[in-house]
Amino acid sequence: MLLDVIIKLLYIIKNNYFTIIILTIVSYVINYYIQYFTRQSKLPGPLPIPIFGNLFQIGEDLVAAVDKFHGKYGDLYEFYVGNKRNVVISRPDLAEKVWGTTSIKNTKFIMRTSYSVGVDELGLGTKGIVLNRNIESWNINRKFFIQSTSTPSFLREAIKLSSKINDEIFEYWKIMEKEGIIVKFSEWMNALGTDIVVTTATGKRMSSTADLFNGLNIEGKKSEIKGIWKNGLKFTESIYVYNESMMFMMLFSPFIRRNIPGIKSINKKFLNNRDWINNELETIVHEKRKEIENTPLDQPVESTILNLLITTNTERDLNKISIGKFDRPLTDDEITSILREVFTGGLDTTSNTLSFVTFYIAKHRNVYLKMRDEVLKVYGTLENPNLTFESYEKLKYIEAVIYESIRVFPTLSFMARAAVEDVEFDGYIIKADTTVYTNLKILSNNPKYFKNPEIFNPDRFLNDKESMEKFSFLPFGYGARMCPGKVWAMVQMKTFLVKLVSTFDIDLVDKNSEIKYKYATANRPVNVDLYIKTRK
């Protein structure tokens, strides 16, 4: 190897350690680029540098970076983070190769991402759902999650709880309306999502929305609602940090995370946050299990996600969930990992999607009024419509509005998958265990597949849905590893939107603004500021 030859020659000629260090670095760089430029199936893409790859071109916003790369390199290119190769695709036919097969046995892209030491450090490589590479464990967890959050009984209870918390928020907003206070909508959606997801999952009432209202310090106006989860607010903040840590741990190599000043301290913060969340979840599961064990069999327990998981395959099984030959109760560790997925997947995406949706319907008054007309048609009234699980199937226009918002600006701009064997794209060989990102934002804003993609037009999902290019729009992914929480997420969003259009008129504070966001694994809107007016 070139490096070894140079070092030996230096020792023979002169024992100059400084020269050795410099030439060692130079030889490493030369060797790095020799391997890079002579590698077979090298895709178009930005030139990486040793150790860091393309981190300097990417910066803090991976969404903006991959969009910029697409403009320069097209629908199939590569970039590097450290020495790790990442491939990006932005064409339906390429996306079909990644997402098209629903069978676990037949798909090559069964892995969520390539192997990552950082993912293992977060405890996600062999547990849970999202990044679990143990297919047997992943499949069991996924089926438990889907069955526990998709049953009509669970969804009916979720609608009741969501409606109750929405009504509480709207009472706060009516007070804010009288006080002339602007609604910082994204903050409220984060609080709403927290209250709904945590309370539905554990049965422990969260009070994030009440705390947010009380923080406004309106004279003589305080919410009496109290949360019963001692560390609830800290836990919620920690979940958002945990979600940020996923992409960080996947992209940065252990060497960079553990040795580069600044990055090293971030790495430590994320790992400490991981430990705190795990301890908190283990305590919750342990306490709830003891509570259920001490409850007589003839007394019912609530249909929360946590209770469903604890009672599965026991004598008081609530939903009789069946997972093939799996007939034993879940362990505390298995329940903890699934519960963590509920929070990490449910808190960020649904809340942020609702913020995007509300931004666009505030900009398009005609869309807002059509949503209201649909509510009136389905329920016969705008005064406290009777929301039922069965009625949600009839909310076609509201569903189209949600999809159009996701199309224009997806909360997740790209989703990753990795194959278990080599795959060919346009004559290029993509090695097994290479992360392949599908750029959902580029796909769904391409005029080849969507007429006038810059125009917010929900009708396209009513009139043109059948003619849409397959795999040009993947709001929840597709195939074996599609989003397991889709049904629950849609129920939450429809509940809120029905309540919103029935109760208020809304206006953007800055009517000419364009959506702004912060990238933190998911896209988080930061400028959805609203004037709220009670509907007359």
Selection from 136, 138, 113 nearest residue 128 by Cα: 138
Distance CA(508)–CA(506), nearest Å, equals 7
**What angle is formed at CA 501 by the lines to CA 497 and CA 505, rounded to 5 degrees?**
130
Residue 464 DSSP symbol: S
Q: How many Å from the N-terminal Cα to the C-terminal Cα in the chain? A: 79
Are 153 and 389 in contact by the 8 Å Cβ rule? The answer is: no
Strand order in the sheet with 183-184: 183-184, 529-534, 504-508
Q: 46 a known binding residue?
A: no
- Give the three-state DSSP class for 266: helix
What angle, 0 to 180 degrees and rounded to 10, lies between the N-to-C axes of helices 232-251 and 185-202? Answer: 100
Q: Tally Cβ neighbours within 10 Å of residue 290.
A: 10
* Cβ-based burial of 445 (10 A; exposed 0-12, middle 13-18, buried ≥19): middle
Give the amino acid at 522. A
Distance CA(345)–CA(351), nearest Å, equals 11
Return the C-alpha torsion angle 307, 313, 316, 319, nearest 10.
Answer: 60
Conformational region of residue 323, where left means phi above 0, alpha means psi within -120 to 50, and beta covers everything else? beta
DSSP for 481-528, please give it: GS-TTHHHHHHHHHHHHHHHHHHEEEEESSTT----EEEESEEEE---
Distance CA(357)–CA(369), nearest Å, equals 14
Binding-site annotation: residue ranges for heme: 483
Binding-site annotation: residue ranges: 483
